[in-house]
Amino acid sequence: MTTDVTAPTRTTAGDVGLLTLRVGVGAAMIQAGLIKAFDFSTTVEFMSAGGWRMPTLAAMMVTTAETLGGIGLLLGVLTPLAAFAVIAAMVDAWAVNVSTAAFWSHPFNAPFLIFIGATALLFAGAGAYSVDARVLGRTTWSPRLAVGLLVAAVVAAVLTWIALNGTNPIHFTAPA
């Protein structure tokens, strides 16, 4: 007598892993965005104190990117675009954190780790347990699209930093 035992497939385990990553990164971004939205004046003050030109615009941009990007990642809705928003916001958040000291003093902070998670989702896709899979019939997107959006997100973050902050955030020694 034989019994058929079906072991979980790698795809199913991978989809659960992607769901877990999406929930973690998405929830962190939603929380960060909503904190900024519900205390927007403090966010504007923080941007202003950090030397950002047009601090209200800068605060609106980061609040929108974090909140909508987080919702998109959490649900797996248009995952490449959601990842793009989170990556761009996290590159600038990372730059804020390393701009006050020598770059090497703390390069691997929370924005850096969220950037890594969003980048992984950009390349791996949302998985089977996502709106992308249910509505669009897609669990992954093309590698060419992922590379293009990664480059575009980094460029958007750098251009935003230059246009609205005007400084170089990377220092190999502590700034004066």
> Which tens digit of pLDDT belongs to each residue from 88-129?
999 999 888 777 666 666 677 899 999 999 999 999 999 999
List the domain boundaries for the chain.
14-165
What are the two backbone dihedrals, phi and then psi, of residue 67, each rounded to the nearest 5 degrees?
Answer: -70, -55
Q: Which of 71-75, 119-123, 162-166 has the lowest mean pLDDT?
A: 162-166
What are the two backbone dihedrals, phi and then psi, of residue 145, each rounded to the nearest 5 degrees?
Answer: -60, -45
Q: How many CB atoms lie within 10 A of CB 86?
A: 33
pLDDT per position as a tens digit, 132-159: 999 999 888 999 999 999 999 999 999 9
Q: Which two tokens stand for residue 162?
A: 């230059």
Q: Which two tokens stand for residue 90?
A: 């996290």
Q: How many CB atoms lie within 10 A of CB 30?
A: 19
For the entire predicted model, the pTM comes to: 0.87
Cα torsion 86, 87, 88, 92: sign: positive
